[in-house]
Structure 1
């Protein structure tokens, strides 16, 4: 396991007092290279937000069954696009979650584990849960006549939001223990998002769907509990300066 150490970090100005003094004086003496203020920048962002379009749309139903289903929902006053969008959003996140755990397994193989941390089998089990959840959502969308391969607006947004989490997992300089922070962010989001999707399914009268989703929510609650315990164990070991107890060879 790669350890956090004190090294030749020169990103802070305190490492060079003379240069930092000159840098501060220059910043105070030289005006900005362009006119304007923070308020002007905010005004431009506001204008862009007003003039820009949306990030996408929900495609029309892919089957006759879907057309009938959509018409029925509209008659009842509930827009079917909302449920399909949120199903697509969850599907995208579960796909990313599968890739996230794949990346962590690769780091585990490279570095090994630690006391109180996950085994390779633990990581594989959660990865497989994420993949099963993805398939559950795929089938739910198909039952509604929706296309699970389409990128809905919600899927687009959550894909962008989760890209930073995946970037942490695949960055080779970030060690296995540090990467658990990415898992924590993902699992916290996963838990709340499943809960909201269950509420939405109930509101749409999709009781069978909601029941299936509650099982997935229970899985995610367990994932979060495990990740919290792993991260706490890693931090405790780091605080004591304890080395990892599992070698990469043993992990493989």
Structure 2
């Protein structure tokens, strides 16, 4: 298996050097009991939090249809922009998911061996479904009279969150199991988020979107189960069990 984990020259643990470990703990104790009176980090961060505004704003509806829909929901006390923000969030995450599977395809293409049951075609199938989900969400935003290219607050936040997953997947030294762990983290987030979006769309009476989103959730549940199985097999093979 490519880049298998092995015992090497790792010296990061404190027990490698007990004497230095004691000195480090002594310094830490001094820092804890004798804080710098000039800097109160907790108070400083509290001030930043109190002064901070929201992460961006929602754009106004760019079409008459969007304006009318928003106005009608507003009359009923419902804020359509909240639903649009969450749909845009999923669209942003599906773009990230597509990118993650693109990177996984590059990795498996050069891997000397894959876990039993894992194939390039299987990875590509999930990748294509992730992309189709992005297109579905973009179309849903347009159907509601909004702009799918706009960066909404929740889309912005999930984009930042996804950066960590992309950075992890971009590490060339990752084993297949570690790469699958990254994909699994994305799939767990994705499944929970689709469920929440479906619940919200139901409350807005968007029955057609609910049906489409429910179908997408079923696919995402298959993705999670598949990736989980691949990862379990990879770990078993790495451990020689």
Question: Which deviates more from structure 2 when the two are superposed, residues 196-205 or residues 130-139?
Answer: 196-205
Question: Which deviates more from structure 2 when the two are superposed, residues 134-143 or residues 228-237?
Answer: 228-237
Question: Which deviates more from structure 2 when the two are superposed, residues 23-32 or residues 183-192?
Answer: 23-32
| Secondary structure of the structure 2 residue equivalent to 1:162 | helix
Unaligned runs of 5+ in 2: none
- Cα deviation code 1:161-207 (max 9, x no counterpart): 12111111111122222111111111111111111111111111110
- How far residue 4 of structure 1 moved from its aligned partner, in angstroms, is 0.3
Asked whether the 8 Å contact 1:113–1:119 carries over to 2, the reply is: no
- How far residue 239 of structure 1 moved from its aligned partner, in angstroms, is 1.5
Question: Which deviates more from structure 2 when the two are superposed, residues 231-240 or residues 119-128?
Answer: 231-240
- Counterpart for residue 222 of structure 2: 222
Question: Where do 1:8-157 residues align within 5 Å?
Answer: 8-25=9-26, 35-36=36-37, 40-157=40-157
TM-aligned CA distance change 1:131 to 1:29, over 3 Å:
closer
Separation in 2, partners of 1:23, 1:107:
40
TM-aligned CA distance change 1:5 to 1:37, over 3 Å:
farther
TM-aligned CA distance change 1:57 to 1:240, over 3 Å:
same
Separation in 2, partners of 1:42, 1:184:
35
- How far residue 37 of structure 1 moved from its aligned partner, in angstroms, is 11
Separation in 2, partners of 1:85, 1:23:
47
TM-aligned CA distance change 1:222 to 1:33, over 3 Å:
same
- How far residue 19 of structure 1 moved from its aligned partner, in angstroms, is 3.6
TM-aligned CA distance change 1:50 to 1:145, over 3 Å:
same
- Counterpart for residue 8 of structure 2: 7
Separation in 2, partners of 1:178, 1:37:
43
1:174 paired with 2:174, answer yes
TM-score by length of 2: 0.92
The root-mean-square deviation of aligned C-alpha atoms, in Å, is: 2.2
Question: Which deviates more from structure 2 when the two are superposed, residues 24-33 or residues 14-23?
Answer: 24-33
Separation in 2, partners of 1:90, 1:45:
30
- Counterpart for residue 202 of structure 2: 202
- Cα deviation code 1:60-95 (max 9, x no counterpart): 011111111111111121111101100110000000
Separation in 2, partners of 1:103, 1:89:
21
Question: Which deviates more from structure 2 when the two are superposed, residues 72-81 or residues 113-122?
Answer: 113-122
Separation in 2, partners of 1:188, 1:48:
32
TM-score by length of 1: 0.88
- How far residue 46 of structure 1 moved from its aligned partner, in angstroms, is 2.2
Unaligned runs of 5+ in 1: 242-252
